[in-house]
Homo-oligomer: A and B are copies of this chain.
Amino acid sequence: MSRKTIGIDKYADFDDWYQAVLREADVVDIRYPVKGMIVWRPYGLKALRLAQRILMDLLERTGHQEAYFPSLIPESIFAKEKDFLEGFGGETFVIEGTGTKKFNEKFYLRPTSETVMYYMWSLWVKGRRDLPLKMYQAVNVFRYETKMTHPILRVREIMGFIEAHTAHATFEESEVQIREAVGLYKEFFDRLQLPYFIVKTPPWDTFAGAEYNYDFITVMPDGKGLELGSVINLGQRFARAFDIKFMDTDGNVKHVYQTCYGVSERVLGAVIGVHGDEKGLFLPPEIAPIQVVIVPIAKPDEKEIHEYARRVKEYLESNSVRVYLDEDSEHTPGWKYYFWEMKGVPTRLEIGPREAELKTVTIARRDNAPKTTVKLEELMSSLNQAWREVNKYLRERALEHLKKLTTIVTDCSTPGERTKGLIVAPWDGSKRDAEELEKVFNRGVLGEITESPIDLPPASNYSTCSGGKADRWALLGVTY
């Protein structure tokens, strides 16, 4: 049987590579006949669930409580904040009845949950003691995207959208919350070894109904930017629209200040695109559905080797390792190596006659570091060490990836060469200058860079493309 490997250069042909990985590694099935809606296969979903668990734990640890608000929003509530309605109405699915009955009112299938949530908050918030209010929910949201859809990266049913919402007594407190949220997301993406820019979006491109927002942006192998998450300061606009007020300690009734922030299944798309390679998927150990695959190197009748392999498996399970013992006798060990590397399993244990005799195991890493053979009693510490090194490898390779696909421009006169990837360019923050940048580089201004994974010199050393003085760096890109 032929080797299971992807064998496509993701930088040369990302679409083919991506589709092959999604299919061969059993991540999702794209054959469901509704555009922008995909089926999650167990292996891919498990990785997503593990990633979601990290984020939900981070949220819970910082006092966000999980709640659940309905999927269907009556028009009377959905239409309360007019910028929001304008921003989302056209891309929101509408329900007007059942198979046999027409309703009196329209229902919107949530594209995001501000309206349904804040309607209830107006009933819940009364005094300063009710603040801050910090909640999250993990739900699917639905957007009739008019941009081209891509599996996982841009879909019409957004899967496992973990959206957090907060309310505060003062604007200052809401800004402290924004910093907490940015910190949470940094930890989350760092643990997935994803590199990112943080940008503050320009005022003319903020979330509908918001004061300002920060976006986390990474880059995919085709050079397109991917928004990983968004942290939004909503100010008081929703509070006014939904009448969320509290009696302050000074006796005055005031509107709350709000923030919200969300991350979706896209983060797994980023993990796939950023960390994958010609062999296939490469999953960070923390979210790998199988962290260790055990491949016995033995004929079916070499019972003591198989028995020892099972003992190792049980030992790992008792240490809460996600392990799979591949006892399939149809394939050779070599075939299995390729297969499980394609599936992104970060570490493999090879167990042959020598290992069984000496009670050792041989550890092989997905990144092809030299194999090591260790005693069984050292296995857990060796695996933990191996995973740290795998993570370091992924982090460094991901940063190389991002550097390769990001051009820092200090001179606008040679735009022609930069055909692929993100652009970092000096900017003065004005809309006029942004338009100039967009024209020169044929990409959208995603925002002002507030944090960069690549060291940047002071922008004020450079002129803008419009010829003025720059005071910040803009991030430009074509995005999913």
Q: Residues of A with Cβ closer than 8 Å to B?
A: 29, 31-34, 37-42, 45-46, 49, 65-72, 74, 76-77, 89-101, 107-109, 116, 119-120, 123-124, 135, 140, 142, 144, 157, 159
Contact = CB atoms under 8 A, between A and B. Distances in A.
Contacts of A97: 93-94
Contacts of A37: 70, 72
B109 A99 contact: no
A98 B72 CA distance: 13
Contacts of A65: 42
A48 to B, nearest CB: 9
Contacts of A123: 29, 31
6 contacts: A34-B70, A39-B69, A68-B159, A72-B93, A95-B109, A101-B144
Contacts of A100: 89-90
A45 to B, nearest CB: 6
Contacts of A72: 34, 37, 93, 142, 157
Given A89-B100, A92-B99, 20 more contacts: A29-B123, A31-B120, A31-B123, A32-B70, A33-B74, A37-B70, A39-B67, A39-B68, A42-B65, A42-B66, A42-B67, A42-B135, A45-B66, A45-B67, A45-B68, A72-B142, A91-B98, A91-B99, A94-B95, A94-B98
As for how many copies of this chain the complex holds, the number is 2
Contact of A46 (B66, B94, B95, B96): B66
Given A95-B109, A97-B94, A144-B98, A41 B70 contact: no
A100 B45 CA distance: 33
Contacts of A89: 98-100
Main secondary structure of the interface of A (DSSP, over half): mixed
A96 B99 contact: no
A233 to B, nearest CB: 23
Nearest to A95: B93
A90 B97 CA distance: 9
A70 B39 contact: yes
Contacts of A135: 42
Contact of A32 (B40, B96, B120): B120
Query: Nearest 9 pairs between A and B by C-beta?
Result: A42-B65, A89-B99, A40-B68, A37-B70, A90-B100, A98-B144, A93-B95, A42-B67, A92-B99
Contacts of A92: 98-99
A53 to B, nearest CB: 12
A90 B94 contact: no
Contacts of A68: 39-40, 45, 159
Contacts of A33: 74, 76-77, 119
Contact of A90 (B46, B96, B99, B140): B99
